[in-house]
Amino acid sequence: MDRRQKKTREAIFNAFCDLLSKKHYNQITVGEIIERADVGRATFYAHFETKDFLLKELCEELFCHIFDAMEEGGERHKHIFECNAPSSVFLHLLQHLQRNDRNILHLLICENNELFLKYFKDNLKLLIQKQLPRFSEKKPSALPESFWINHISATFVESVRWWIENGMKESPETISEYFLLAIISRKESQ
């Protein structure tokens, strides 16, 4: 992607995220995104087939940012998300949620969040697969790997929900620790 295409794509993401801070996802139209991004309809559709694809790409940008941070060893990195990454990928993700980067938190807590949660979980499972060595000794031998990955993913998502529903009083570090303890304690209690 050349520089001009990246700038256009970022303008569309910025417009979409700005609208997310004001409206629920289902209330946002492609027309509003186009107007706010100051791009043509054909330009929008050259980058994203639909608004749902834009949502999917936003979620993938977050996880791509985290994957890149893993590979770069925590060096400063950027996509449409920017930060100094901590060593834990789960803490990294929680920090972005706490900061509500790109209004991503609104997508997790809105009423009709099924589509975003699906994209979020799909990407989370890929992240967990890359982290499996960290969890392999904790996996009960009778469990299939796909079940184990789904279990870890569901535990993380529910940890985030609990955190949000309780006002996000705990730090991302504490929630990351709770999440890891919940996975570890399953094996140790058997």
Is 79 part of any domain? no
Q: Domain limits at 162?
A: 87-188
Between CA 12 and CA 34 the distance in angstroms is 7
Tell me if 169 is assigned to some domain. Answer: yes
Question: In this structure, is residue 155 part of a structural domain?
Answer: yes
pTM over 0.95: no
How many CB atoms are closer than 10 A to CB 42? Answer: 8
* Band of residue 190 on the pLDDT scale cut at 50, 70, 90: very low
Classify 78 as helix, strand or coil.
strand
Would you say residue 126 lies in a domain? yes
**Structural domains in the chain (count):** 2
pLDDT at 188: 46
Q: Hey, how many other C-beta atoms are within 10 angstroms of the C-beta on 78?
A: 9
**How far from each other are the two terminal CA atoms of the chain, in whole angstroms?**
51
Kindly tell me the sign of the dihedral angle through the C-alpha atoms of 61, 63, 66, 71.
negative
Whole-angstrom distance, CA of residue 24 vs CA of residue 28: 7
Say if 148 falls within a structural domain. yes
DSSP H/E element including 77: strand 77-78
What are the pLDDT digits (tens) for 16-54? 988 887 888 888 999 999 999 999 999 999 999 999 999
